[in-house]
Amino acid sequence: MTPFEQIAFAVLILSSALCLYRVGRGPTAPDRTVAIDILGTLVVGFCCLMAWRTGRDYYITIAIAWALISFVGTLALAKYLEGRSYDA
């Protein structure tokens, strides 16, 4: 690993740790939902760094799939918070 990659991974891991702190601390359900959504976007960043390091393009494919699926998951959680059925 080059120094740049080491620093990049360290920064992303620190960011994820801050997110996880918010997921654990709460204090309300929407706080946790926002933090999980942000964590999903950070995972896309991790996938990019892996693609940068290895030069293989399937990591970006994983990133695309992850971005779209975490979006759907967040929408489902938001609907649940609104107290409505999923098809509305």
Partner 1 sequence: MLEQIAMWIMGVGLAFDLFGCIGLVRLPDVYNRAQAATKCVTLGTCMILLGVALRAFGAPDGAMAVKALLCAAFVLLTSPVAAHAVCRGAYLSGVKLWEGSVEDSFSERAEEIRQEQTTEGSVDREETETA
Residues at the contact surface with partner 1, assessed by CB under 8 A: 4, 7-8, 11-12, 14-16, 18-19, 21-22, 28-31, 33-35, 37-38, 41-42, 44-45, 48-49, 51-52, 55, 57, 60-61, 63-64, 67-68, 71, 74-75, 77-84, 88
Instruction: Enter the tokens of residue 57.
Output: 């393009």
Minimum Å distance from CB 42 to partner 1? Answer: 7
CB of 1 to partner 1, least distance (A): 14
Is there a contact between 70 and 41 (Cβ–Cβ < 8 Å)?
yes
In sequence order, what are the residues at sequence separation of 6 or more whose Cβ sits closer than 8 angstroms to the Cβ of residue 9?
1, 49
Tell me if the bond preceding 27 is cis, omega within 30° of 0: yes
